[in-house]
Amino acid sequence: MARGRTHPLESLIDTMARWPWWAGVLAAMVSGLLLQALMYFTISGSDAPSGGSWSAFGAATGGLVQGLQYLLPVFFLVAAAMSAWLDFRRRRNYAAVAGERGHAALELLSWREFENLVGEFFRRKGFHVEQRTGGEADGGVDLVASIGEDRYLVQCKHWRVQRVGVKVVREICAVAAAEGAAGVFVVTSGSFTEEARRFVAENRIDIELITGGQLRQMIRGLEYTP
């Protein structure tokens, strides 16, 4: 399923929600202390006999700092709560897909949850995973999985019925060649067309196509290994 366009504020919140939950709590504490200190110096400066212009500036700045003194820590705490919730959901979905009814659990995931599931799989395999927020302009790359000095581009397609065609594979391979990536993973909850598989067989780039069934096998630790 394709990504939708997101508002810049929504993208910011989504990015911060990917922080570890403790990072949000720490940011809330630090920002609160810094703003309290800034508030103290602003008030102290505005009370000094330095002229009307400084007093007016100090009053205006003090009002802004006073508002941020509460809003910014709350914002960071909300981000921390979202991070903890997303981490819980990611682990729960991973366990559900690894269970006996993994096929049904995989079908119920949203495209974002499917992307998080794939990212969690690569992390548990020892990769460092970065999530991109681009879109079609970067060939639809969703994740960058790195291990050692090798970088692999990962595209996630949560398509329940439609099979992933050669166009998708060709585009991400072009991006991989341009970026000098070691290889490409295209992961779908469904399957791939024969044309896409022929393209993989004829291409010099290291490409791995992973279907929903194969992904479930790997998560469950069964015989399939990419």
180: left (phi over 0), alpha (psi -120 to 50) or beta: left
| Domain shared by 119 and 205, yes or no | yes
Q: Can you give the pTM of this predicted structure?
A: 0.69
Position 54 scores a pLDDT of 45
pLDDT at 2: 43
- Provide mean pLDDT across the span 47-68: 58
Give the tens place of pLDDT for each residue, 190-199: 899 999 999 9
Q: Which residue has the tokens 């949000």?
A: 24
- What would the mean pLDDT of 90-115 be, rounded to a whole number? 86
Beta-sheet strands, E only, within 111-211: 128-131, 143-147, 150-157, 183-188, 207-210
160 assigned to some structural domain: yes
Is the pLDDT score of 107 beyond 60?
yes
| Contact predicate 42/111, CB 8 Å | no
State whether 117 and 65 are in the same domain: no
Q: Is the pLDDT of residue 118 over 60?
A: yes
* Total domains present in the chain: 2
Q: 199 with 124, same domain?
A: yes
